[in-house]
């Protein structure tokens, strides 16, 4: 029973919060929290001493929060969810004190640029809400993550009624291997029914609280807050320009793929507007298309560049995949994985509990504990994923001695690019042959084009998907996309940028964006688009450092200590400098560009143009009429 006293307390807290919201304080980034009339501290030595004193405690709270998140993600119980929320609140309360103390300093006028940047990082990334609101926001995030992690699709035809399928590996195997369009559609629709549809209301509530939290620190909405980390006033326009540079190549690839799929599935109706049904691209989200490689191989008489069978033949395990990746980093003279990594990482799906299988790399902020959470299946796709996540860990290891405020990538795209950077070398025929995984590769024009096609189906097919998710999400945060239009705008973006459309009619009762982990988990996604572009600039620079003489797409930097030194010098900086500085240090330029990507794929681009001569290339920006009820 709720007593009248408790009700009175609750109403008082609610009144305070509502009053604060209707009469918001001045943005923290402009005027701060300081009401004390005493002068601000200008002594920078004293400021550095304060940072040295406060940071161990900061690392402790951050480490405990990460540990609680890890425990929940690797064991989805209500108890672990509760502890995760509690640790987030403890960190939030500590951050309030941290920011309040930071505002005692005249940090905006500090002469030391690194010190000024450190204080700005603390203040600008602080989110302020009444405690019961911030608690609710964390609770919503935990609930959505749990619903996503526990989702299963059941009642498949010709299967026992109690047999249920998880997304990885069960449903993804259907999406990637099956040629039965009814089975593929069952998996595609079922996953959306069991994920986003279940927490659409929770997501709307979360968005409202997240938006409100960013108002307190001077942002119009959460989208502007998330973009600010890139420290580029023209960021949105720069992204659009990159998409324009890439689009002609993507359209040629799309036209080729569409034509081959139409021949493969003559009983499927393809719309005249030029779109591809989203469930036929070999992936639950149509984000990458490499599972279609056998159908799309330019020279089918040449052996496949997929080495899954060889991994299985050689008795590879999840552990052996991680050990192979570690050996690559060591060959560059980089930091080996520390002992706790091997002892505490979750690299296969546990049989005794529910977990979030989405692969992720974790820094526990104590300079010794770094882990990966991944439900590994031994195949070439997880070979890629393993190297990608190990790249994140290498970045964590390199900047571990930075102050906690700088323990992050130069920008979020940097972090994602580092993992993919290593993959660009380890997937080359040269590297795979050196480790005995690609013995039958034919090194001629046909073999080369087969390799590039496989790369394009992974890297280039992804780009519009990587671009459109946050275009949609920023629209949600800004209010341009209300809950009643969540699904319609989601598919309008997919039709426009990817040239795909839903295989069954969608309604606003659906929430298909929520079928992608990064939406309910509130993980910004534009970082992956950025990474997929700049990784080719990074690769080009390191290949030069390694004195590579082969075409860019066949460069393998393994064993190059010079390339390793060049990379480590940048990774060690963390986020202590604006990203343009380490970017120029590595690439020699300050601006993101698709030129290196287009150079990498030039032989394939020329081949695709010849294949598509006389064919319709492209699609209408609008979705086909049959997309919505």
Q: Which domains are seen in the chain, by residue range?
A: 234-305+324-335+378-629 (1.10.1370)
- Can 532 be counted among the known catalytic residues? no
Query: In whole angstroms, how far apart are CA 519 and each of 141, 143, 215, 510, 512?
Result: 10, 13, 21, 14, 10
Give the model confidence (pLDDT) of 556-567 as tens digits.
999 999 999 999
Catalytic residue of the set 143, 212, 252, 389: 389
- Per-residue buried b or exposed e for 176-198, using 16+ beta carbons within 10 Å of the residue's own CB: beeeebebbbbbbbbbbebbbeb
- Can 389 be counted among the known catalytic residues? yes
**Which among 625, 596, 517, 611 has a CA at the least distance from the CA of 246?**
596
State residue 161's pLDDT score.
Answer: 75
State residue 259's pLDDT score.
Answer: 98
Max intra-chain CA distance, the chain: 82
CA 480 from chain center: how many Å? 24
Half-sphere exposure of 619 (CA within 13 A, CB side): 31
**Which among 578, 490, 584 has a CA at the least distance from the CA of 114?**
578
List the structure tokens of 578.
């604006």
Instruction: Tell me if 400 sits within 8 A of 102, measured CB to CB.
Output: no
DSSP 8-class letter at 108: G
Give the model confidence (pLDDT) of 13-36 as tens digits.
333 354 444 344 334 443 344 455
State residue 12's pLDDT score.
Answer: 34
Please tell me the distance from the alpha carbon of residue 481 to that of residue 204, in angstroms, as a whole number: 11
Instruction: Tell me if 278 sits within 8 A of 502, measured CB to CB.
Output: yes
Instruction: Tell me if 557 sits within 8 A of 512, measured CB to CB.
Output: no
State residue 86's pLDDT score.
Answer: 95
State residue 216's pLDDT score.
Answer: 76
Question: Is residue 371 helix, strand or coil?
Answer: strand
Instruction: Tell me if 557 sits within 8 A of 398, measured CB to CB.
Output: no
**Which among 622, 228, 251, 154 has a CA at the least distance from the CA of 456?**
251
Extract the annotated binding site.
230, 388, 392, 416, 527
Q: With the C-alpha atoms ordered 456, 462, 464, 466, is the resulting torsion angle positive or negative?
A: negative
C-alpha dihedral (360, 363, 369, 373), degrees to nearest 10: -10
State residue 439's pLDDT score.
Answer: 82
The segments of the chain whose pLDDT lies below 70 read: 1-37, 125, 127-130
DSSP 8-class letter at 169: I
State residue 4's pLDDT score.
Answer: 43
- Per-residue buried b or exposed e for 227-263, using 16+ beta carbons within 10 Å of the residue's own CB: bbbbebeebbebbeebbeebbebbbbbbbbbbeebee
Strand locations in 5-152, DSSP E?
A: none
- Per-residue buried b or exposed e for 102-112, using 16+ beta carbons within 10 Å of the residue's own CB: bbbbebeebee
**Which among 274, 302, 414, 373 has a CA at the least distance from the CA of 71?**
373
- Per-residue buried b or exposed e for 304-324, using 16+ beta carbons within 10 Å of the residue's own CB: bbbbbebbeeeebebeebbeb
Please tell me the distance from the alpha carbon of residue 579 to that of residue 453, in angstroms, as a whole number: 32
State residue 125's pLDDT score.
Answer: 67
Instruction: Tell me if 488 sits within 8 A of 501, measured CB to CB.
Output: no
DSSP 8-class letter at 579: T
State residue 33's pLDDT score.
Answer: 47
DSSP 8-class letter at 23: S
Query: In whole angstroms, how far apart are CA 203 and each of 76, 192, 196, 269, 487?
Result: 19, 15, 9, 34, 13
Catalytic residue of the set 183, 204, 241, 518: 518
Gyration radius of the chain over CA positions = 25
Extract the annotated binding site for Zn(2+).
388, 392, 416
Strand-strand pairing, 500-501 and 276-277: parallel
Q: Give burial (CB, 10 Å; 0-12/13-18/19+) of 559.
A: middle
Please tell me the distance from the alpha carbon of residue 90 to that of residue 85, in angstroms, as a whole number: 9
Give the global pTM.
Answer: 0.91
Extract the annotated binding site for chloride.
230, 527
């Amino acid at each position: 029973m709720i007593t009248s006293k408790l009700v009175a307390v609750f109403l008082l807290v609610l009144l305070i919060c509502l009053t604060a919201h209707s009469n918001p304080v001045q943005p923290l980034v402009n005027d701060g929290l300081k009401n004390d009339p005493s002068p601000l501290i200008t002594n920078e030595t004293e400021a550095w001493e304060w940072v040295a004193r406060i940071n161990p405690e900061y690392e402790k709270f951050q480490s405990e929060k990460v540990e609680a998140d890890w425990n929940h993600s690797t064991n989805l119980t209500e108890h672990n969810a509760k502890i995760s929320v509690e640790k987030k609140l403890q960190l939030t309360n500590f951050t309030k004190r941290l920011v309040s103390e930071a505002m005692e300093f005249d940090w905006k006028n500090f002469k030391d640029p690194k010190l000024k940047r450190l204080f700005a990082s603390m203040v600008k990334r602080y989110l302020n809400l009444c405690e019961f609101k911030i608690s609710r926001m964390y609770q919503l995030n935990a609930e959505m993550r749990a619903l996503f992690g526990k989702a299963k699709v059941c009642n498949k035809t010709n299967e026992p009624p109690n047999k249920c399928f998880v997304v990885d590996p069960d449903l993804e195997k259907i999406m990637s291997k099956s040629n039965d369009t009814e089975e593929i559609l069952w998996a595609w629709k079922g996953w959306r029914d069991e994920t986003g549809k279940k927490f659409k209301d929770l997501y709307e509530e979360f968005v409202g609280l997240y938006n409100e939290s960013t108002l307190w620190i001077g942002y119009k909405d959460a989208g502007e807050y998330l973009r600010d980390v890139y420290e580029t006033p023209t960021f949105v326009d720069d992204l659009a320009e990159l998409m324009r540079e890439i689009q002609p190549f993507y359209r040629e690839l799309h036209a080729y793929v569409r034509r081959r799929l139409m021949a493969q599935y003559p009983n499927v109706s393809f719309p005249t507007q030029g779109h591809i049904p989203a469930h036929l691209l070999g992936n639950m989200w149509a984000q990458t298309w490499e599972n279609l490689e056998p159908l799309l191989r330019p020279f089918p008489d040449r052996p496949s560049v997929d080495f899954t069978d060889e991994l299985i033949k050689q008795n590879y395990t999840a552990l052996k995949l991680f050990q192979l990746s570690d050996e690559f980093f060591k060959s560059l003279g980089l930091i080996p994985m520390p002992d706790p990594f091997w002892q505490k990482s979750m690299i296969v799906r546990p049989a005794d509990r529910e977990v979030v299988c989405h692969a992720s790399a974790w820094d526990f902020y104590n300079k010794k504990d770094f882990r990966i959470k991944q439900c590994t299946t031994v195949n070439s796709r997880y070979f890629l994923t393993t190297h990608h996540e190990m790249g994140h860990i290498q970045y964590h290891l390199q900047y571990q001695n930075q102050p906690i405020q700088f323990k992050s990538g130069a920008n979020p795209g940097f972090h994602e690019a580092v993992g993919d950077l290593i993959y660009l070398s380890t997937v080359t025929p040269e590297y795979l042959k050196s480790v005995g995984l690609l013995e039958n590769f034919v090194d001629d024009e046909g073999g080369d084009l087969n390799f590039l096609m496989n790369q394009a189906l992974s890297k280039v097919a992804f780009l519009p998907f990587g671009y459109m998710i946050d275009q949609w999400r920023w629209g949600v945060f800004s209010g341009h996309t209300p809950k009643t239009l969540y699904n319609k705008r989601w598919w309008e973006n997919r039709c426009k940028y990817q040239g795909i459309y839903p295989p069954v009619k969608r309604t606003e009762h659906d929430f298909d964006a929520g079928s992608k982990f990064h939406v309910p988990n509130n993980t910004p996604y534009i970082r992956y688009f950025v990474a997929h572009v700049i990784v080719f600039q990074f690769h080009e620079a390191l290949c030069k450092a390694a004195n590579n003489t082969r075409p860019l797409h066949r460069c393998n930097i393994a064993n190059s200590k010079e390339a390793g030194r060049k990379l480590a010098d940048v990774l060690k900086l963390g986020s202590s400098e604006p990203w343009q500085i380490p970017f120029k240090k590595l690439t020699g330029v300050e601006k993101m560009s698709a030129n290196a990507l287009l150079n990498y794929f030039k032989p394939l681009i020329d081949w695709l143009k010849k294949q598509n001569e006389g064919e319709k290339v492209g699609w209408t920006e609008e979705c086909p009429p049959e997309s919505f009820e």
